[in-house]
Amino acid sequence: MLKTITPIDNSIYVEREYASTQEIENTLTTSKKVFSDWCNTSLQQKKIILTKFVDVFLENNSEIEEELCRQMGRPISQCGGEMNGFEERARYMIEKSDQALENVISKKNDEFDNFISKDPLGTIFII
């Protein structure tokens, strides 16, 4: 059982069962299946999807601020700043994605057309 202890008063804030081996395998299998769809999604469509995610995430800011407060011990008065920082960084990265993800030309002449392509790598599993 995974227990999250709140630093506010050292009580158990939430308890969750660890994911089973099968649940982890299913999650990885599903993520691999949707990876090809994501790769084939245009950058403009990804930007629309991610902007909507940011909007929906921020619609739930009161709940998220409460979670930050309870799980990290951050004073609730400072949690709004966390949300503002998230929004600023997320929207900046979405705005700059065209430039940041374009190919980098390293050498181009009659013999070579060398470039660095920034392509999705695949499923990344974080423990």
Q: What is the pLDDT of residues 24-60, one digit of tens each?
A: 999 999 999 999 899 999 999 999 999 999 999 999 8
In terms of Cα–Cα distance, which of 37, 28, 39 is closest to 125? 28
Task: Read off the tokens for 125.
Answer: 């599993």
pTM here?
Answer: 0.76
pLDDT tens digits for 85-95?
999 999 999 99
State the virtual CA torsion across 34, 40, 41, 43 in degrees, nearest 10: 130
